[in-house]
Copies of this chain bind each other. A is one copy, B any other.
Amino acid sequence: MAPTPHPFDPLTPEEIRKAASVVRPQFPGHEPNFRVITLKEPLKKHMIPFLDSQHAGAASAASPRPPREARVQVVIGGTDDDGGANQLFELIVDLTGDGSVVKKDYLKGRHSYIDSAYMQAVEAACMADPRIKAEIETLDLPPGATVIVEPWAYATDGMIDVSQRTSMCWFYLRLLDNPDANYYAYPLDLCAEVSESLQVTKIYRLPSAEHERIHNNRRPFDRRRTQDVSASEYHPDLRPPPRQTTKPYQVVQPEGPSFTTDGNALSWEKWTLHVGFNYREGLTLHDVRYDGRSLFYRLSLAEMFVPYGDPRAPYPRKGAFDLGNDGAGINANNLQLGCDCLGTIKYFDGWHNTSRGEPMRLPNVVCCHEQDDGILWKHTNFRTGNAVVTRSRILVLQTIITVSNYEYIFAFHLGQDASIHYEVRATGILSTVPINIDDKAPPYGTIVAPGVLAPYHQHLFCLRIDPAIDGHANSLQVEESEALPVDDPEVHNPFAMGYVTKSRFIDQETGLDLDFNKSRVFKMVNEGVKNPVTGTPVGFKLLPAYSQLLLAHPSSWHAKRSEFGQHALWVTRYDDEETFPSGRHTMQSLGGEGIASGMAARRQCGAAPSVRNEDLVVWHTFGSTHNPRIEDWPVMPAEKMLVGLKPVNFFTGNPGLDVAVSTQESNKSVLVDDSSGKGDGICCQAKI
């Protein structure tokens, strides 16, 4: 008999099958298209006593284990009678025993995330359409080249009824006869819209100059675009041989790694946590504790939004919710050994489902390994010359997603200083649109190759931080460093250089912003637990990533649909159902369902919920205004964004003080051969 899943464990294959078997009878006469069969995480009010008892040990094992539940989304295909509209249903299935449906909602007019099988059908519909074929003929394409269609979800722009899906079909040319040739290097000016029922409803030509608009002038493909082909290829088979100068670099852990796992439970250097994974957020961390003390109930990327800044129709329809629309779990790469991760690696698999409700393994979607991060702490007593130095070992939990052209690398880093960092790297290929070779770039894009424009865009991420700092009643404290006044007789500052910190607590749900000029620091604290040394509430502070917020105007669809881009920080009262800052159903959404709207609605119903000594959630919006440079072409070197969480008066001293000193014996560093004969190999431990 399989071991009992931990309440935070993703659904097992057996549970996925069971959920599907319970749901199918709900739709007699239909073959449901199972879009999602995922864990419905237990209510926090049930998890808390369970976790407390688990951590307290066997004696308190009596606390009930929350039941396993599945959240299932199915699409029931429309019939000709009812106009052909698909219907989206969401069901909650209790997996106890044989399983039973405990909730069933018809989500009228809403859409599930992108159905890749459907998108393939959209591609096929485009290529089969005789009008499209005729348009392609007029392009007079180079021989041997293949037309590629890449449908995107339609980002609401107010021009199309959203109750049915519309796909925007972008056309590219795979110039070289190799399936991995970079077709993004040859965007065609052809564009098509495809309806829910796979009809090509519109065909037109894209604007290819700053003052051009959608048109129907059938211009042929400009052959001058194919002069420097290899410059636009990234695949090694299509490029000159790589450099030979980089010598191998290997990481060896002769005694194995310092982490242990028991299923999805992970332990490493005083850290314990539960690794989660779901179709939408990808990697999630649960019940994060240090030395047994509770830090975070849950950490995850909750949404991301990539709006393009090119104002010419139809480009306002490019605004990708890569979690809500695509799924960071579904699109997670298989991190094959030796390529994506380095050293001594453990992989975690994920589980998803087929459209028929069968479990589908997503292998190696999370890699877990250690990494050396330089020096953790050092001090040399100058009086004795004795140096004490420790190295910083970090644990990396990483996942990578591919969403069409782009890749995003998401990694949590745990430190021996009890810090957590969240690093995002953007890489992959820029999204491209055509531009006439003889025209200059409009002011919202960069020409990256002849005839190829890479439009400006933003990458905005929302990290959802559910603190449980020594318990679930937390507060958000904002601290700033402020110069003391100079001419105030009440204030002692005779040398005009004193400064103090000023702090305030946030009482109600709100949006907040960053201000490095004031050294504004956000701390998640437990006012009920005072640090025995400093006397202040124990807490963790945020090290934010300073980023420009959403540029799209508040009246725009981009702004109305995303919402989380209005502020760098949000604080809300915990709610089991408030998990996605742009709402649960982002596909062709109309807005009004995100974090700001939720907050506003709660205010209207009475006072905004208190977040003072309450179960609160902090959401950090960060990202990058990406105005492409040529160095981002044809594939961009990773651009990093980094967020941190560090203890502030949580412990009674440096949590890494007991890390063993760095020694030659342990590190086995090697001196580069040096004819001067230096390097006597004495390591600092010899002096202790």
Contact = CB atoms under 8 A, between A and B. Distances in A.
Contacts of A481: 456, 548, 551, 625, 627
A307 B649 contact: no
A61 interface: no
Contact of A669 (B341, B377, B440, B657): B341
Q: Which of A257, A444, A657 has the most CB of B within 10 A?
A: A657
Interface string A232-265: 0011110110111111111111111110000000
Nearest to A660: B242
Contacts of A247: 253, 255-258, 370
Interface string A654-688: 11111111111111111111100011011111001
B231 A243 contact: no
A168 interface: no
A202 interface: no
Q: Which of A307, A496, A666 has the most CB of B within 10 A?
A: A496
Contact of A407 (B339, B380, B384): B380
A372 interface: yes
Interface string A369-410: 010101111111111101111011100000010101101010
Given A379-B407, A483-B551, 15 more contacts: A235-B688, A239-B658, A242-B661, A243-B269, A248-B254, A248-B668, A250-B254, A311-B498, A313-B495, A336-B387, A339-B389, A345-B672, A347-B671, A630-B651, A633-B654
A492 interface: yes
A499 B647 CA distance: 38
Given A346-B674, A481-B627, A637-B654, A250 B667 contact: yes
Interface stretch (A79-87, A137-145, A446-454, A588-596): A446-454
A601 interface: no
B546 A659 contact: no
A638 interface: yes
A49 to B, nearest CB: 30
Given A231-B652, A667-B338, A179 B495 contact: no
Contacts of A649: 446, 629-631
A669 B346 CA distance: 10
Nearest to A390: B242
Main secondary structure, interface of A, reads loop
A381 B174 CA distance: 12
B497 A556 contact: yes
A310 to B, nearest CB: 7
Contacts of A78: none
Contacts of A378: 340, 400, 407, 409, 427-428, 635, 638
Interface string A617-657: 00000000101011111111110000000111111111111
A536 to B, nearest CB: 8
Contacts of A671: 337, 345-347
Given A231-B653, A311-B484, A667 B636 contact: no
A684 B319 CA distance: 31
A54 interface: no
A585 interface: no
Contacts of A498: 309-311, 316, 444
Contacts of A381: 179-180, 235
A661 B338 contact: no
13 contacts: A240-B658, A246-B416, A309-B497, A313-B495, A319-B497, A339-B684, A375-B409, A375-B638, A377-B637, A495-B556, A497-B553, A519-B547, A631-B647
A181 to B, nearest CB: 9
A157 interface: yes
Contact of A404 (B257, B345, B382, B555): B382
A558 interface: yes
Contacts of A384: 179-180
A392 B447 CA distance: 26
A336 B663 CA distance: 10
A136 interface: no
B635 A679 contact: no
Contacts of A492: 211, 311-312
A367 to B, nearest CB: 9
**Interface pairs A-B: 6 shortest CB-CB:** A311-B498, A338-B664, A417-B637, A316-B495, A497-B552, A242-B660
A173 interface: no
Interface residues of A, number: 187
A292 to B, nearest CB: 15
A2 interface: no
A652 B678 contact: no
A249 B370 contact: yes
A501 interface: yes
Interface stretch (A14-22, A280-288, A464-472, A527-535): A527-535
B664 A337 contact: yes
Contacts of A519: 547-548, 625
A205 interface: no
A171 interface: no
Contacts of A557: 495, 497
Contacts of A685: 339
A380 B339 CA distance: 12
A344 B402 contact: no
A21 B492 CA distance: 53
Nearest to A627: B501
A610 interface: no
Q: Which of A347, A378, A559 has the most CB of B within 10 A?
A: A378
A513 to B, nearest CB: 8
A569 to B, nearest CB: 14
Q: Which of A384, A559, A658 has the most CB of B within 10 A?
A: A658
A348 to B, nearest CB: 10
A349 interface: yes
A316 B311 CA distance: 55
A638 B499 CA distance: 23
A27 interface: no
A55 to B, nearest CB: 19
Interface string A498-517: 11110000000000001011
A330 to B, nearest CB: 11
Interface string A303-335: 000010111110010010000000000000100
